[in-house]
Structures are given as structure tokens and as C-alpha cells.
Amino acid sequence: MKINKADDLKKIKKEGMKLLSPAALRITVGAATCGFAKGAGKVFEALKYEAKKQKVKADVVVVGCNGLCYAEPIVEVIRSGKPRITYGNVPVERVSELVKAIKTGKLVKDLVLMRRDEEKSPLEKGAVIKYSKGKLSRELSTVKEYRKLDFFKNQTKLISSNAGTISPERIEEYIALGGYAALAKILSALIPEQVIDEVSASRLRGRGGAGFPTGAKWKACRLAEGDRKYVVCNGSEGDPEIGMHRSLLESDPHLIIEGIIIAGYAVGAHEGYIYVNDRYLLAKERIENAIKQAEKLGLLGKNIMKSGFSFSLQVKRGGGAYICGEETALLNALEGSFAEPRPRPPFPAQKGLFGMPTIVNNLETLANIPLIVLKGGKWFSGVGTKLSTGTKIVALSGNVTHPCWVEVSLGMPIKSIISLFGKGGAGGKKVKAFQAGGPSGGILPAKALNLKLDYEQLCKADSLLGSGGLLIMDENTDMLDMAKFFTDFFADESCGKCTSCREGLKQLQQILGSVMEGRGTKEHLSLIKRMAAAMADTSACALGKTAAVPTLSVMKHFPQEIEGRLMVKKRA
Amino acid sequence: MTNTQAEWQGKSESMFERMLQEVPEAVRDVFRGNLMAILKEKAKDGSILEGHVVEVVNEKVPEPFKGNILKAFSLMGGVDMNKVGEIIERFPGGQESLLSILHALQDQFGYCPPEALVLVSQKKGVFLSMLYRLVTSYQAFRTEPPKKNMVTVCNGTGCHVKGGGAILKEMEKRASENGAQITLEKARCLGCCDFSPALIINGQLYSGSEAQAKISEILGK
Amino acid sequence: MVKIKVNGKTIKAEEGQSVLDAAQASGISIPTLCSQDALKPYGACRLCIVEITKNGRKTVETSCTYPAEEGLEVKTDTPRIIGGRRVMIELLLARCPGVPSVRKLALEYGVKDSPTQMKKENDECILCGLCVRACNEVVKAGAIQFAKSGLYKIVDSPFHKTADDCIACGSCVFICPTGVVKKKDEQQAPGGPKRQIENWQVEHKLKECKKCGNPFSPEPHLEKVRQEKNLPVEFFNLCQSCRQYPVVDEDKCLGCGGCMENCPMGALELDDKGGYDKKAKVYTQNCTACHSCEPICPVQAIS
């Protein structure tokens, strides 16, 4: 069937609800890449097998990632009238025991993490699904309700609210929780300029790095002249410590699709591309399947919902170059050319893909669009801070007790993020330093932990919000080693065009190597400073411009770790 | 349970066995029976061809197992130029189809064979020198067949901070030894921060510490 | 036309012309190693950097890639710019200490040598890309390209083997600013005169003129031009000096236009000499000396 009007959406919504809150039993397994790495795939197969063997009638389905990476494999049980129970760290060997418990309505106490009494969606007021009906049994009331856990209580789940709940392979479940309602709204009630106005009113900023106002970018593209226009979704996610694009694509692919179609409508584009990191095979498969499903329902393709607006979407696998996170290098890759940034001006909004006006938006930026359309730009601008509106997905990793990913309102103090979600330094060790926003963000000392996570504060501290990665380093971390690590990273990923970046990184690497081997001198350090200034000025793109930042930040914040290793000149 | 009463052509039987290795042992026989039935249906009255096994993998096996299996298959053979032609046909268009074609070649053969690139150059009207630039500048592509052992070390910051640097150094040393049968790759993030420092040896995920103990055993040295 | 200010002086520029070209046309010099009039700008050497102020915002840009717009303010020699250029020169000296064009720039900018703390190499290629761009954009042979990336970037032939698409025209040799791309023409070789471009492992025979016997151009180069311009097979049997342009004897010429209609290059026109008198005139810039006109003339006015 094809969805031609909002009422048709309601029909599908009902079907989706029946799956999310079934009359019988639903058992879900958190199966994104991180889950699979810990055996979720085997758990899933074992659950299906045991359910059949023990004659338990259940819909066993894969869902995405809810951010609790440290507790995977995660299995959730939803039965009519009872709260949704979440089990964590479920080993394959105990699946048959778990199924037996499910069959008899019991809990496997030592594996229980939390319960969920009702499902709320940021798109609607009140509960969308009431799992628990009637009074709770004594046993169940001892299980913590998830909103009481630090991990969920302190998050503002707007774009990640479906992740871990819906199956990424079932469009009905996405629709059940409000999916494609935004698309229906704009196609029937808003003209493109109004959509751009809402996005501008939201003050949404690009979630990739620069934080450029999304509304302004779209407006420029709308006004640009060209035979055809394009929307490009940047899912290259090159930073060496995060997997958030991957998690979103694997958990809630339709959210991205909807955001892209709305963007196309707004700027006047009818073709879109999603550029996916070359290693993200599962994410690519899920988004491609989601596209097929959307096409089948008439939500993508020709004459969407009989509105006259057509939009087609393709997924392209990247070539493994970090530099393709830079929008013009990404456009080159899409055109089948080598990964090097293009000189600007002209900007992609005027001359982008195949020389046509193009908007290149980060995947996370686009994920915010359906919400902004449904609840309004003004509402969105009330989340976060005045200049940094909305939320950010943060990937917490490194020497932290619980590596995970969370969605928080912009403006949350970094210290709180680490303590509430990461539960402090791993092994009780003190946090010595952290890095925000990826390698270009530089390394900041523990006293900067009071900084708030937003564009302004991090920029003032010579760091950046960037991709939302937050790397924690403990007291045993060698700062010089970290400076070398990030310099090596940039050296591996530099495209090599600019003298400043290519030769500058070559020299930085060898100087840091000399210092590490005890042959460093004060002259080496002043040379670094001089080169860094030239690299920042003369390089063509952000990689070259910030290539020396890791080293400079360590020299500034941890001078003793470098100066203390310099060669001591013997007095004659 | 064996695969008797079936005619296997070429490497198809070993490919089938390799595919089954991705299934948990407990349910392996069940899968073997089901998949054999599908293969027999595809083969009709003839032999089960290598292509049939690949079809079953593409149709029935979800990611990430599918990718692992196909990669393993690609390490079992030489360059079939008919296959190259099919791949080129699958991606119409001009220069914009190149990255997709290179990925497909890499998935099929484990690397991008020079003879395949010559054919791509002819059919797509793109200079061979440009194709050479693409395969040597994008990290996803190899220009030589991978060696017997594939090792991917996570070079993500999370893993580095937990000792990944030492693991990488050791693997680099082993890979550069004379006669080492190791193709070493660095990944930007394997997505298993709980296992850090993480590495994948021949398709199996290991945590650094347990891998160090097993490395000699796994690599046969 | 647009007006931009360079170092306080207002100059004219064509819309979209690069700031570098506009400045140089007005006699303001900006150093560059990777720019060339016949090629699209690339922006590799980073020497042509300038400070650009647009709408009150100041940024540092390469002038070869930045298009001139009305109201731009450009500063070519501020301390920040000079400092940046000096570092570029030092980095290039560290990489290519023996390259004369880099040494010359170093002298101009008061850079004695690359700092002792820099690792020294002995490369001769500055990765300006001029050879690659000439081969791909102008000659359109596509024989060479950049390969690998980042710190390992080089210019190479496919698979580091003989560049099969190379026509040995020598454009790469001509345009190379360091002299690392070299050709060797051997007049007396056992198999006949040949040209070698060792960088791309290429060797091709030089065509010998049927009239004077001198070798003049590589055979594949001539063949490529012949095919592209649809010239007869024997066209390049004669070298440029021996190939004679037709001369019209105006006393004999009837002005019938038969030669003009038959000319494949449109190099013959009928010139109005007043009254009814028209005479055939040869435009040598279009003429390829194919001599198709000679036999056509009914009165043998062309020789």
C-alpha cells in the first residue's frame, strides 16, 4: 500500500503499535555493531531457537543501541500489561535459563538492569505506550524504573529516543512513535520557505564541526541558481573514537531518511546521497533496507504522498579517508574523484556536487530536522543554551568506568557528563586530561572539566564541540604520547596537497619523536610554535589548520611533560 | 552430518563449510540442513556452484556475518575477468560509479587487481592513472592480495589510551618480519570500547590482553 | 569588470579572475611555484597566500584560487603573510635543498637554509602537480597522476610501471619547475632516434622527416594530434620546416572558391580586392599544409 495522506499513516501507526506493545510477547536484542561485538548476534539466534524449543510464542526481534555499551548484550522483554524489563550482560549460555523464566513469568534477578513503565516520545505529549497496567507485583517494584537511573535521568533524548526501542528493520514501528508525521505535515501544510524559517528559528547549528547555522546554509542553497540541487548527508564519521553515526544508522535509520527528504523539500533538491563510513557495513545495510521500505510505502520516490514532490536517495560507501569528513572532499569522493578539499569560494551551497547547489549536512544535524518541524523552531531553541541550542550525542570513551554514548542538552558541564554517565575514571583513577570534539580539539587539563559542553565555551578554550567525542585520560596517561598519537593520526589522514600540512606534519612527527627519545631542545619547541602558526594560516582545510593543535595544547597545558623531557645542556 | 548426495563444483563445498562457521555450534546442524535444501533447489539437477553459495550468503545471511564470509570467500581464488565485467555492468554511469566499483572488486577478490582496473578504465572511459590514484590514496582499497592472516588493530583513541599503542607496535613488528603471512590494517574504531584494546584476527574479535597470549598460537608461529 | 584594492591600490579585475592573475596583470608580484596560466589553479605550494578582507572579515587565502569580487581588500606582504611564506620556503628547502627555484625564493625572502631542527631530505619534486595537470587538462593523455596520499604522496605512472598512455610529448618536462622530470632525446640510437622519459619509464621512437631526415617529434604524439584533428595519414611525414604552406598566384587566380570549399581546415578565404575581383588568400594559422587545395585549382594558381 502507498501512503497518500496522513490517515494512511495512522493505519500503519496502529500496526506498529501492535508490534511494540503486543498482545503476546516481544523479546528484543540490542544488535548494533557494539552489541554484535559482544555476542548479541549469537544471543539473538539462541533466543529464537530456545523460544521455539520451549514453545514460547514471542516476537523475537533485533533493535538498535540504547547507549548502554558496557551492559551489552541487552535483552528486553515486553509482555502485555507488564513493564518492559531490561536485562544486561546476557551471556549466550544463560539464554535458555532466561527463556524458561520468561515462560513462567519470572525474573532472572541477577541480570535485570531496569524496567520501563511507559514509552514517551519527544514528538508527543503524554505517554505513547503504557506498558504497565494495574498495580506492580512486589518483585517488579524492586526493579528500578529507568527514569530514576542516573544514566537516563540526566539525558535529553530527542533524536535517540527511538534507538533501542524500535526495530530498525520495521518502518511501522518508526511510524508508530511519530515517524514521517513531520514529512506529512510539510508536504500538506508548509511551503519550503516556511520549513527554512522553522530551522532558522531553531538556531540549529551543524553538528559536524564548524557549527554553522543550518538555516542559513539551507537559505543560501535555496536562493542559488542551478539546473538541479542536491542534499548530501555526511555520515563519514572519521574521528578515531566515536561511532555515533553508526549507532544512529543502525538503530533508527528512518529518522535520517525523513530529515534528508525534508531538507530536500526545503532547498528544492530532488536527489540525495548518504555518504557512509566504509567500515559501517551493518549501518549501510540497514539504511539501504530502510530506503527500500520507505519507497514501497510511497514515502520516498516519485510524487511522495501525492504532493507532487519527488525525492530519491542513494547510499554511497566511503573510501576510508578521514578527510572526506570535510564537505568538499566528500563531494569529490561522491563524484568518483580523489579525496582532496576544494578551494572555497565557491561554496557548496552555490557550486557543490557536479557543480550544482548542494547542502552538505552532518548526519546528526539532519536527525534533528523532523523534531524541529513537528514541534517548531521556537520550541527547539529553548533546549540547550541561547547560542548552542538543542542536544548533542556524546561518545564517552577512554579511561572511564562506563564507556557509552548519551544525548544531553548542550550546555551541560563536562564534569557532570563524566560522573553521571561514565561513572568517573576507570579503576577509580583520577581524570588527568580530556579531549573534546576529536583530534582537532586538543587536549585539555582536568581543571577545564568545569567547561560546559557547547560551541562557545569549547571554542574559547581553543577546543571545539566537533563530533561530540569525549575522550578521558587518567593520571597514568603520557601526554607526550597522546600528542604524538594525534599527530600520527593527522599524518596518516592528510591528503598531502598543501606544503604546510604535508611537510609540517612530517616535521612535527620527527620533532616529537626526538623529544620522546630525549633529544629535544628548546629550539625544537619554538620551531613547533612557528610552524603551527604557519600551518593554521596557510593550509587549505581544517585538517592542516588544526594539525598542530594536539601538540600545542600539550605544550600549553602540560608543559612539564614536554619541557621536562628536553635535553639538558651541560654547562661548560 | 555430512553433505553427501550433493555434487559440489569447484570450491563450493569449502565455501559452504566456511559459511557455517559463522553459525553458533549449537544450531549449526539445523542451519546446515536448511541451507543445503536451499542450495539443492538452486542447483536444480546439476552441481552446486560457487555462485550458488554466494547467492545464499547474500540472500540469507545478515551483517556483520555476511561481510566476514564474503571476505573469506574472496581469499580463496584468482581473478575471473567475467566477474569483473559483471561488476562493472552493475554500476552504470561515469566517474561517479568508480568508488562503488572499487568496493565491489575488493569485496569479490580481496583486493583491486590491476587487470580489473584496466578493464574499468576501458569501459568507463576513465584514465588508468586516475584509477591507480584512487586505489592508492583511499585507505579502503588494496592493490595486492591479502596474505594468509588478516589482522585489524583498532587504532581508535579509546583503545590507544588503554594500551592499544603497544599492541599495534607489536603487530607491526610481526607483520614486517621476513616471510610473515600477515596483512595488517589499522581501523579508526571497531565499535567495541568495552573490549579495548581491541583487534580482529582472521575475523575473530579479541581483546588485546587475551590476543597477546594467543597471537603465536593463532598465527602459527 | 570589478574593482579590488591590492595593498591600498585600486586595480581592475575581470569577474571571477583569480586575485593572483589580477594582481600580476597590474604589476604587483606575488610568489608562486604551482601556478601556470594555461592550467586551472591548484593551490599546493601555498606561497601565493594573501590577507583578504571581505565584508569586514579577514582571512588568509591562496590568491591563485580566490576569485576577485567587487570590494575585496587584499594585502600581499603583511608580516603574517611574509612569516607564513618563510615557513613554506623552509619546509620546501628541508624537503628539496637542491632545487634552484626554491633556493631563489629563499634568497628573496632572506631564508638562509631550513632550520637545523628540521629533518632534511633529498627530494627533487615539490609536488606542485604541474606535470599531472598539464598531462590531464591540456594534453589530455592522462598518462601520469598523483598516487598514494599525505606524506607519501608522489607523482607516478600507473602501478609504477611504463605509462602506457604517455605520448612522450614532453609537456611535463617543459612545465616542471624543478627539473626533476627529464627527457633524453637520442638521435643516434641502434633502433632509430628515440625519446626517453625515465620518470615514467617511457621510451618512444622519434618520427624522422621523409624530406630532410631529421627526427622531430615522438610518433605517439604525432599520431594523437593526427587523430584528433582528422588529418590525412601522411600528414606528419614532413617536419614543420619541410612542410610548405601553399602560395596563391593572384595573376592566375580566378576567384572561383573551389580551393576554399575543399580546404578541410577553413584556411582559405576569398579576399575582396575591389569590384568583382576576388582572390584566394591563405590563412597560415589554420593551414596544416595538407596540400588538398593544390590539385583542385583549375588554373594551377596554387603551389
Alpha carbons B13 and A13: distance in angstroms, whole number: 46
With both helix axes pointing from N to C terminus, report the angle between A214-223 and A253-267 in degrees, rounded to the nearest 10. 50
Do both C17 and C101 map to the same domain? yes
Residue B2 has pLDDT above 70, yes or no: no
Q: Look at residues C73, C90, C121 and tell me which one is the last residue of a structural domain.
A: C121
Do both A26 and A72 map to the same domain? yes
Residue A505 sits at the chain C interface (C-beta within 8 Å): yes
Residue A417 lies in a domain: yes
Residue B179 has pLDDT above 80, yes or no: no
Do both C197 and C224 map to the same domain? yes
Q: What pLDDT is attached to residue A429?
A: 92
ipTM confidence score: 0.93
Count chain A–chain C contacts defined by CB atoms under 8 A: 107
* Chain A residues 161-190 with a CB less than 8 Å from chain B: none
Residue C288 has pLDDT above 50, yes or no: yes
Q: A277 versus B159: which is more confidently predicted?
A: A277
Q: What pLDDT is attached to residue B1?
A: 42
CATH number at residue C286: 3.30.70.20
Copy the grid coordinates of residue C16. 571571477
- Total domain count for chain C? 3
The domain of C294 spans 245-303
Residue A176 lies in a domain: no
Do both A458 and A487 map to the same domain? no
Any residues with CB less than 8 A from the CB of A436 and at least 6 apart, and which? A414, A444, A453, A458, A463, A464, A465, A466, A469, A470, A471
Copy the grid coordinates of residue A231. 542534499
B93 pLDDT band (50/70/90 cuts)? very high
Do both A237 and A356 map to the same domain? yes
Residue A120 lies in a domain: yes
Do both A85 and A40 map to the same domain? yes
Q: Look at residues A332, A353, A380 and tell me which one is the last residue of a structural domain.
A: A380
Q: What is the mean pLDDT of residues C42-69?
A: 97
Do both A457 and A485 map to the same domain? no
Residue C289 has pLDDT above 80, yes or no: no
Residue B143 sits at the chain C interface (C-beta within 8 Å): yes
Residue A158 lies in a domain: no
Q: What pLDDT is attached to residue B218?
A: 65
Percentage above 90 pLDDT, chain A: 87
Q: Is B166 left (phi over 0), alpha (psi -120 to 50) or beta?
A: alpha
Residue A146 lies in a domain: no
Residue A47 lies in a domain: yes
Residue A192 has pLDDT above 90, yes or no: yes
- A contacts of B26 (beta carbons < 8 Å): 46, 49
Do both C114 and C38 map to the same domain? yes
Residue C185 has pLDDT above 70, yes or no: yes
Percentage above 70 pLDDT, chain C: 100
* Residue A367 CA: distances (Å) to CA of A361, A364, A391: 10, 5, 11
B27, B157, B194: residue with CB nearest A240: B157
Which has the minimum average pLDDT: A499-508, B79-88, B160-169? B160-169
Do both A331 and A399 map to the same domain? no
Q: B188 versus C99: which is more confidently predicted?
A: C99
The domain of A97 spans 19-132
Do both A349 and A203 map to the same domain? yes
Mean pLDDT of chain B: 84
Q: What pLDDT is attached to residue B6?
A: 67
Q: What pLDDT is attached to residue C257?
A: 87
Distance of CA C6 to the CA centre of its chain: 28
Q: What pLDDT is attached to residue A13?
A: 94
* Chain A residues 209-248 with a CB less than 8 Å from chain B: 238-243, 246
Query: Model confidence over A373-403: pLDDT tens digits?
Result: 999 999 999 999 999 999 999 999 889 999 8
Do both A452 and A484 map to the same domain? no
Contact predicate A108/A97, CB 8 Å: yes
Q: Look at residues C196, C218, C243 and tell me which one is the last residue of a structural domain.
A: C243
Q: What is the mean pLDDT of residues A163-170?
A: 96
Do both C159 and C234 map to the same domain? yes
Query: Model confidence over A436-493: pLDDT tens digits?
Result: 999 999 999 999 999 999 999 999 998 989 888 999 999 999 999 999 999 999 999 9
Q: How many CB atoms lie within 10 A of CB A142?
A: 12
Alpha carbons A248 and A367: distance in angstroms, whole number: 9
Answer whether B188 sits within 8 Å of A319, measured CB to CB: no
Q: Look at residues A102, A132, A162 and tell me which one is the last residue of a structural domain.
A: A132
Alpha carbons A334 and B98: distance in angstroms, whole number: 9
CATH number at residue C2: 3.10.20.740
Query: Model confidence over A104-147: pLDDT tens digits?
Result: 989 999 999 999 999 988 988 788 999 988 888 888 989 999 99
Residue B140 sits at the chain C interface (C-beta within 8 Å): no
Contact predicate C269/C283, CB 8 Å: yes
Q: Look at residues A457, A472, A487 and tell me which one is the last residue of a structural domain.
A: A472
Which has the minimum average pLDDT: A122-126, A214-218, A312-316, C27-31? A122-126
Do both A100 and A226 map to the same domain? no
- A contacts of C19 (beta carbons < 8 Å): none
Residue A359 lies in a domain: yes
Residue B219 has pLDDT above 70, yes or no: no
- Total domain count for chain A? 4
Query: Model confidence over A2-28: pLDDT tens digits?
Result: 888 878 999 999 999 999 999 889 999
- C contacts of A521 (beta carbons < 8 Å): 117
Do both C226 and C255 map to the same domain? no
Q: How many CB atoms lie within 10 A of CB A517?
A: 10
Q: What is the mean pLDDT of residues A36-43?
A: 91
Nearest to C136 by CA among B133, B123, B96: B133
Residue C270 has pLDDT above 90, yes or no: no
Helical residues (DSSP H) of C194-291, grouped into ranges: 219-228, 258-262
C126 pLDDT band (50/70/90 cuts)? very high
Do both C196 and C261 map to the same domain? no
- C contacts of B131 (beta carbons < 8 Å): 158
Do both A433 and A501 map to the same domain? no
Q: What pLDDT is attached to residue B78?
A: 58
Q: Look at residues C80, C105, C121 and tell me which one is the last residue of a structural domain.
A: C121
Which has the minimum average pLDDT: C10-24, C46-60, C124-138, C261-275? C261-275
C277 pLDDT band (50/70/90 cuts)? confident
Which has the minimum average pLDDT: A217-231, A519-533, B67-81, C78-92? B67-81
C86, C119, C148: residue with CB nearest A507: C119
A492, A503, A524: residue with CB nearest C91: A503
The DSSP bridge pattern shows strands A75-79 and A84-87 to be antiparallel
Residue C192 has pLDDT above 50, yes or no: yes
Do both C162 and C102 map to the same domain? no
- B contacts of A34 (beta carbons < 8 Å): 191-194
Residue B92 sits at the chain A interface (C-beta within 8 Å): no
Do both C18 and C116 map to the same domain? yes
Mean pLDDT of chain A: 94
Q: What is the mean pLDDT of residues C99-128?
A: 96
CATH number at residue A248: 3.40.50.11540
Rounded to 10 degrees, the C-alpha dihedral A195/A201/A205/A206 comes to 0
Do both A295 and A402 map to the same domain? no
Alpha carbons A445 and A397: distance in angstroms, whole number: 16
